[in-house]
Amino acid sequence: MRTTPLEAVIWLAGLMGLAVAGPYLDGHVSVCIPTLMGFDFCPGCGLGMSVSYLFRGDLAASWAAHPLGIPAAGLLAARSAHLLAKRQRSIHSS
């Protein structure tokens, strides 16, 4: 029995979660480990918000939240597509 690659499921679920999440909410709950540990700076902070703005078509806000949000979303979508296509090819070659 062939199953969908878990990695693709995780990346796509994360992207879909950011697509429906509201980046405009104040006082959101953070899952950032350095922030929770009391550090003032985290190089990844704003990345999720950036992707969320991207899904809403607000490229300026996406870039302002984190410049790597746009490439990260593209990379995760491409990686997921690659894994799913690889699975599809293996099904058809069996």
Whole-number Å distance between alpha carbons of 65 and 3? 36
Assess if residue 54 is contained within a domain: no
Assess if residue 74 is contained within a domain: yes
Q: pTM (2 decimals)?
A: 0.79
Assess if residue 73 is contained within a domain: yes
Assess if residue 30 is contained within a domain: no
Q: How many domains in the chain?
A: 1
Q: At what angle do helices 69-93 and 47-55 cross, to 10 degrees?
A: 70
Assess if residue 8 is contained within a domain: no
What digits encode the pLDDT tens for the residues 17-74? 888 887 776 656 667 788 788 888 888 888 988 999 999 999 999 999 999 999 999 9
Whole-number Å distance between alpha carbons of 91 and 94? 5
Query: Are the C-beta atoms of residues 47 and 72 closer than 8 Å to each other?
Result: yes
| Helical (H) or strand (E) element with 14 | helix 6-20
Give the structural domain span for 79: 69-94
3-state helix, strand, coil in the chain (%, to 5): 65, 0, 35
